[in-house]
C-alpha cells in the first residue's frame, strides 16, 4: 500500500486520528507500543467534537489490532457452503475427513483467493447475467472505499445489484430530509450549536449509550436554561437527564408528532410569517393533523394529554428549537412519514433554516453520512447524485472513462437484495461480495437471511474478523483496519475528517482498496492510474471522488487531506478550494428548487404488526453502551465483553409478574419469525406493554431472529423498532 502524505503526520504524542466506531468520529491519538497491540489510544483534546472524551469502545479500540484477535490470512473453502449440508446428511465418513474435505475454511494465498473470487463472479455473470452478482457494503467504510465499491459494482461487475447496511440505519430520515429540504445531511449545523438552542426534542435517541461524549452538548443546553424533551418508550439514561420524558408505545411517533402540531395550531403558536415566506404545503399538512386531537393521540401513543400540552408549549413558545431523531422513530415501516411529521413541527413553529434551530438526524455508523453519498446505495452515484438522472450519469461516466449507457440503473434495496439471494429465475442473486457488514446478526428476520446466504453459488466476505457472515463465506478476505490505513470519514455533522495510518498491518492482510483493484483487473476492468482505473492509494481515490462529486449535492471538490488536517475537518458542500465549507445549511434558503421547505401531508397508520391475542406484547430493539452493532468487533474485546456479556430481555415488573419470570431467569420471546431465549432483566424503566432486546449477539439470543422485515415504502427501511411477540418462561 502506498504511503500518503497525510499518513506521515505523526507527533511525539502519537498520530492524530479518529475512533473506528460511531458517527461522532471522536478524535484520538495513537502512540506506538512494544506489545502485541501495536498502538495505544491517547486523548486528543484539541479535536472540537469530543474534546478528548472517549467512550469505552473508543478507549479499547486498539485491542483488535493484535494479530491474535483478527484475521491474518485469506480463507477459502473447497466445498461450496451450499453443498455442505447435503454432504452432511449423506456422508457418514464426513466426521473422519480432513477439515478441507469437510468443507471447512482453510488458509489460502491471496492469489488463490482472488482468482477464486474473480472466476466465480465471472462464471455467475456468464450464466445468470451481470445483476446476479451482488455487492453489500457498509456505512463504516471510508469515503474512498464506499466510492470505490460503488464504482467497482457499476463498471467492473457491471451490476445494478448493490446496496449497503446504511439502508438499515438512517435511510428514513435521509428520505424525509430530501423531501422536505431538498438535501440530506444528518445535522444541518455543528453539534456545538445544540447548547445554544432554547428547546430540544430528542426522539428515539439514546446518546448516553450510543454517543456518550455528545451528552455534554445536551447538558450544556440545560445549564444554559434550555429545555430537553426526550421521547422514548424506555426511561433511558438519556431520558433521565430530560426536563420532560414522553414514553410512547413503540411505533406511534407519527401520531405523537401530529398531535403536537395539532396543539401548536390550536394554541396559535404557528409562526405564520415563516410558514408564508419559507415553506410550502402547510394547508395540506394542517388538514391532516386536524384528525389528531390530543385525546385521540393519547389513546394511540399512551402519552397523557397533559404531557402533550406541556411539550407543545415548551417547543412552541421557545424562540429557537431543534428536533433530533435517531433510530427510534426512523426504523419503522412508516419512518419516512414519521420524520416528515417531526419536520412539520419544526417548520410550523419557524424552527428550521435559522440560527440555532432546525431538524437533524443523529447518524449512526462511523461513516453513516459519507457512506450514503458516494455511490454504494442502489439508486445513487457519487456526490449524492441519482443514478436515474441523465446529467448525473453523464458526469460520473466521464470521470470513470466509460459510456453513460454502460452504467447500470437503480438496483434493489438492502433487505430486498438479501431476500433475493439464491432465488431461482432472473431475479435471483447467485454471488455476493460483502464488505463491511454482518447481516447474519444485523438483518431483520435473520434466520431466513442466513438461509439465503447459504444458498449462494459464491459468498465472499471482506472483514477484519471471522464474523458470523464470514463464517458462511466461500472466500474470506482479511482487511486492514482503521489504524492501519488512511481515509476520510464524514461524521454526523457533515464534517469530513481524516483517519491516518498509525501502524503497519500484519503481513497477510490487505486493504479493501487493494482488493478492489486486484479484482477489477482480474475482471478485465481498466488497471490502476488515470481515469477509469482502480487505484489503491486512498489520496488518489479521494482526488477522483472530489471530481466525481463536483457539482453534486454532496460536493467534496474543494476538500483535500491537507485542508482537513489544518481545519479540524471540512463541512460539505465545499465546491472549491477557496470555499470555507458549510457548517450550517439552509440559513438563506432550503435546497429545494423554489428554496422553500415542504410540509409532509402525512397521517398516522399502525405498525405493520400490531399486538393481538397470540402475540400480545410489543418488542423493540436497540443498543447498549459497551457493544457495537452486530458485535463482530466489540464482542472480541475482553473489557467490552465483560461489561456487556450477552443478550437480555428488558421488561417491566408487572409484566414479569404476569409471565412468572424472575430477574436473570431465561425468558423465551416468540414472534411470527422465530423464537429466542435470553435472561430477563426486570426494570420499571420500560412500558409494561413492551419488551426491549439489544441486537448485538448471535446464537439463541439473537434479537433479529424475531424482527419484522416490513419495509417503509419510500426508504425501504425495515421495521426493527416494533413487532409483536409473546413471552414464555422456558
Which spans of this chain sit near ligand SF4 (rule: CB under 6 A)? Answer: 19, 21-22, 24-26, 50, 54-55, 57-58, 211-213
The answer to the question of residue 711 lying near ligand MGD (CB under 6 A) is no
The answer to the question of residue 323 lying near ligand MGD (CB under 6 A) is no
Rounded CA separation 682/665 (Å): 10
Collapsing DSSP states into helix, strand and coil, what is residue 221? Answer: helix
Residue number of the CB closest to ligand SF4 reads 58
Write out the residues near Mo ion by the rule CB under 5 A: 169, 364
The answer to the question of residue 157 lying near ligand MGD (CB under 6 A) is no
At a CB cut-off of 8 Å and minimum separation 6, what does 699 contact? Answer: none
Instruction: Kindly list the distances between the CA atom of residue 207 and the CA atoms of 66, 210, 358, 645, 647, in Å, as whole numbers in the listed order.
Output: 29, 5, 19, 21, 20
Which listed residue (251, 294, 552, 573) binds ligand MGD by CB under 6 A? 251
Instruction: Kindly list the distances between the CA atom of residue 729 and the CA atoms of 137, 154, 617, 681, 725, in Å, as whole numbers in the listed order.
Output: 39, 50, 14, 13, 13
Q: Nearer to ligand SF4 by C-beta: 514 or 628?
A: 628
- Looking at 162-170, 220-228, 346-354, 571-579, which segment touches ligand MGD (CB under 6 A)? 162-170
Which listed residue (27, 150, 622, 647) binds ligand MGD by CB under 6 A? 622
Rounded CA separation 451/416 (Å): 14
The answer to the question of residue 467 lying near ligand MGD (CB under 6 A) is yes
| Least Å from the CB of residue 641 to ligand SF4 | 16
Grid coordinates in use for 570? 471540512
Q: Nearer to ligand MGD by C-beta: 38 or 140?
A: 140
Rounded CA separation 19/26 (Å): 6
Residue number of the CB closest to Mo ion reads 364
Site string for ligand MGD, 476-505 (x = CB under 6 A): ---x--------------------------
Collapsing DSSP states into helix, strand and coil, what is residue 43? Answer: coil
The answer to the question of residue 203 lying near ligand MGD (CB under 6 A) is yes
Site string for ligand MGD, 122-141 (x = CB under 6 A): ----------------xxxx
525 binds, among Mo ion, ligand MGD, ligand SF4, none (CB under 5 to 8 A by kind): none
| Cβ atoms of residues 609 and 683 within 8 Å | no
Q: Nearer to Mo ion by C-beta: 282 or 720?
A: 720
The answer to the question of residue 1 lying near ligand MGD (CB under 6 A) is no
In DSSP notation, 653-718 reads HHHHHHHT--TTSEEEEE-SS-EEEEEEEE-TTB-TTEEEEE----GGG-GGGT-EEEE-TTT--E
456 binds, among Mo ion, ligand MGD, ligand SF4, none (CB under 5 to 8 A by kind): none
The answer to the question of residue 365 lying near ligand MGD (CB under 6 A) is yes
353 binds, among ligand MGD, Mo ion, ligand SF4, none (CB under 5 to 8 A by kind): none
213 binds, among Mo ion, ligand MGD, ligand SF4, none (CB under 5 to 8 A by kind): ligand SF4
Instruction: Kindly list the distances between the CA atom of residue 442 and the CA atoms of 169, 415, 437, 439, 602, in Å, as whole numbers in the listed order.
Output: 11, 11, 8, 5, 30
- Looking at 148-156, 309-317, 554-562, 617-625, which segment touches ligand MGD (CB under 6 A)? 617-625
Which own/partner contact pairs does 94-99 have at CB distance under 8 Å and 24+ positions apart?
none
Rounded CA separation 222/230 (Å): 13
8-27: contacts with ligand MGD (CB under 6 A) = 22
622 binds, among ligand SF4, Mo ion, ligand MGD, none (CB under 5 to 8 A by kind): ligand MGD
Collapsing DSSP states into helix, strand and coil, what is residue 351? Answer: coil
| Least Å from the CB of residue 702 to ligand MGD | 9
| Cβ atoms of residues 621 and 692 within 8 Å | yes
The answer to the question of residue 433 lying near ligand MGD (CB under 6 A) is no
Q: Nearer to ligand SF4 by C-beta: 57 or 652?
A: 57
4 binds, among ligand SF4, ligand MGD, Mo ion, none (CB under 5 to 8 A by kind): none
At a CB cut-off of 8 Å and minimum separation 6, what does 84 contact? Answer: 102, 103
| Least Å from the CB of residue 308 to ligand MGD | 14
Which listed residue (629, 671, 708, 715) binds ligand MGD by CB under 6 A? 629
| Least Å from the CB of residue 211 to ligand SF4 | 5
Grid coordinates in use for 520? 477489477
Beta-sheet strands, E only, within 524-579: 570-571
Rounded CA separation 15/499 (Å): 9
Instruction: Kindly list the distances between the CA atom of residue 98 and the CA atoms of 79, 83, 103, 106, in Å, as whole numbers in the listed order.
Output: 12, 16, 9, 11
257 prior amide bond cis, ω within 30: no
Which listed residue (15, 60, 236, 708) binds ligand MGD by CB under 6 A? 236
538 binds, among ligand MGD, ligand SF4, Mo ion, none (CB under 5 to 8 A by kind): none
CA-based torsion, 44, 46, 49, 53: positive or negative = positive
Q: Which residues bind ligand MGD (CB under 6 A)?
A: 22, 138-141, 165, 168-169, 203-207, 209-211, 231-234, 236, 250-251, 253, 326-329, 331, 364-365, 435-439, 441-442, 462-465, 467, 479, 512, 620-623, 625, 627-630, 632-633, 692, 695, 703-704, 707, 720-722
Amino acid at each position: 500500500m502506498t504511503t500518503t502524505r497525510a499518513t506521515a503526520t505523526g507527533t511525539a504524542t502519537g498520530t492524530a486520528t479518529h475512533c473506528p466506531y460511531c458517527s461522532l468520529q471522536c478524535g484520538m491519538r495513537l502512540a506506538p507500543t512494544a506489545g502485541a497491540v501495536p498502538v495505544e489510544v491517547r486523548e486528543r483534546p484539541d479535536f472540537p467534537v469530543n474534546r478528548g472524551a472517549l467512550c469505552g469502545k473508543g478507549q479499547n479500540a486498539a485491542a483488535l489490532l493484535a494479530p491474535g484477535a483478527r484475521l491474518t490470512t485469506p480463507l477459502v473453502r473447497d466445498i461450496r457452503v451450499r453443498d455442505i449440508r447435503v454432504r452432511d446428511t449423506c456422508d457418514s465418513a464426513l466426521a473422519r475427513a480432513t477439515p478441507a474435505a469437510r468443507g471447512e475454511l482453510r488458509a489460502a494465498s491471496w492469489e488463490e483467493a482472488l482468482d477464486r473470487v474473480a472466476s466465480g463472479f465471472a462464471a455467475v455473470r456468464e450464466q445468470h447475467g451481470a445483476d446476479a452478482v451482488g455487492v453489500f457494503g457498509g456505512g463504516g467504510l471510508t469515503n474512498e472505499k464506499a466510492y470505490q465499491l460503488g464504482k467497482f459494482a457499476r463498471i467492473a461487475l457491471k451490476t445494478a445489484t448493490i446496496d449497503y447496511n446504511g439502508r438499515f440505519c438512517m435511510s428514513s430520515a435521509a428520505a424525509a430530509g430530501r423531501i422536505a429540504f431538498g438535501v440530506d445531511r444528518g445535522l444541518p449545523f455543528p453539534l456545538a450549536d445544540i447548547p445554544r438552542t432554547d428547546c430540544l426534542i430528542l426522539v428515539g435517541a439514546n446518546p448516553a449509550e450510543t454517543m456518550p461524549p455528545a451528552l455534554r452538548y445536551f447538558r450544556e443546553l440545560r445549564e444554559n436554561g434550555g429545555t430537553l424533551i426526550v421521547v422514548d418508550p424506555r426511561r433511558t439514561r438519556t431520558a433521565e437527564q430530560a426536563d420532560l420524558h414522553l414514553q410512547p408505545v413503540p411505533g406511534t411517533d407519527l401520531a405523537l408528532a401530529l398531535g403536537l402540531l395539532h396543539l401548536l395550531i390550536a394554541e396559535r403558536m404557528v409562526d405564520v410569517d415563516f410558514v408564508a415566506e419559507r415553506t410550502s404545503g402547510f394547508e395540506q399538512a394542517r388538514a391532516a393533523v386536524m384528525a389528531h386531537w390530543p385525546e385521540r393521540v393519547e389513546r394511540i401513543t399512551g402519552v397523557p394529554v397533559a404531557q402533550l400540552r406541556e411539550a407543545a408549549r415548551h417547543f412552541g413558545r421557545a424562540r429557537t428549537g431543534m428536533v433530533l431523531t435517531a433510530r427510534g422513530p426512523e426504523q419503522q415501516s412508516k419512518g419516512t412519514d414519521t420524520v416528515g411529521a417531526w419536520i412539520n413541527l419544526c417548520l410550523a413553529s419557524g424552527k428550521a433554516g435559522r440560527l440555532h434551530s432546525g431538524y437533524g438526524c443523529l447518524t449512526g455508523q462511523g461513516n453513516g453520512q459519507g457512506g450514503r453519498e458516494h455511490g454504494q446505495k442502489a439508486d445513487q452515484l457519487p456526490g449524492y447524485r441519482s443514478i436515474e438522472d441523465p446529467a448525473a450519469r453523464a458526469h460520473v461516466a466521464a470521470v470513470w472513462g466509460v459510456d453513460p449507457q454502460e452504467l447500470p440503473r437503480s438496483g434493489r434495496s438492502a433487505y430486498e437484495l438479501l431476500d433475493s439471494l439464491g432465488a431461482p429465475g432472473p431475479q435471483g442473486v447467485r454471488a455476493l461480495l460483502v464488505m463491511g457488514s454482518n447481516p447474519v446478526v444485523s438483518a431483520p428476520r435473520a434466520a431466513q437471511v442466513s438461509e439465503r446466504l447459504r444458498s449462494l453459488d459464491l459468498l465472499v466476505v471482506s472483514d477484519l474478523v471471522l464474523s458470523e457472515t464470514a463464517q458462511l463465506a466461500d472466500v474470506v478476505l482479511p482487511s486492514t483496519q482503521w489504524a492501519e490505513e488512511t481515509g476520510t470519514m464524514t461524521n454526523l455533522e457533515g464534517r469530513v475528517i481524516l483517519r491516518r495510518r498509525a501502524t503497519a498491518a500484519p503481513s497477510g492482510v490487505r486493504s479493501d482498496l487493494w482488493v478492489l483493484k486486484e479484482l477489477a483487473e482480474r475482471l478485465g476492468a481498466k488497471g490502476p492510474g488515470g481515469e477509469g482505473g482502480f487505484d489503491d492509494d486512498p489520496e488518489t481515490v479521494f482526488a477522483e471522488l472530489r471530481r466525481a462529486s463536483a457539482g453534486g449535492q454532496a460536493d467534496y471538490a474543494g476538500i483535500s487531506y491537507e485542508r482537513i488536517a489544518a481545519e479540524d475537518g471540512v463541512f460539505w458542500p465545499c465546491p472549491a478550494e477557496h470555499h470555507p465549507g458549510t457548517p450550517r445549511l439552509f440559513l438563506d434558503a432550503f435546497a429545494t428548487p423554489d428554496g422553500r421547505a415542504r410540509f409532509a401531508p402525512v397521517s398516522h397508520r399502525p405498525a405493520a404488526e400490531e399486538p393481538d391475542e397470540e402475540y400480545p406484547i410489543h418488542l423493540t430493539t436497540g443498543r447498549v453502551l459497551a457493544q457495537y452493532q452486530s458485535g463482530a468487533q466489540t464482542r472480541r474485546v475482553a473489557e467490552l465483553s465483560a461489561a456487556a456479556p450477552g443478550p437480555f430481555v428488558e421488561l417491566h415488573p408487572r409484566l414479569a409478574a404476569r409471565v412468572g419470570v424472575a430477574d436473570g431467569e431465561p425468558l423465551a420471546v416468540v414472534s411470527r419469525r422465530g423464537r429466542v431465549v435470553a435472561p430477563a432483566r426486570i426494570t420499571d424503566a420500560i412500558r409494561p406493554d413492551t419488551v426491549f432486546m439489544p441486537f448485538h449477539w448471535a446464537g439463541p439470543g439473537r434479537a433479529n431472529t424475531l424482527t419484522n422485515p416490513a419495509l417503509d415504502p419510500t426508504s425501504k427501511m425495515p421495521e426493527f423498532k416494533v413487532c409483536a411477540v409473546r413471552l414464555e418462561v422456558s
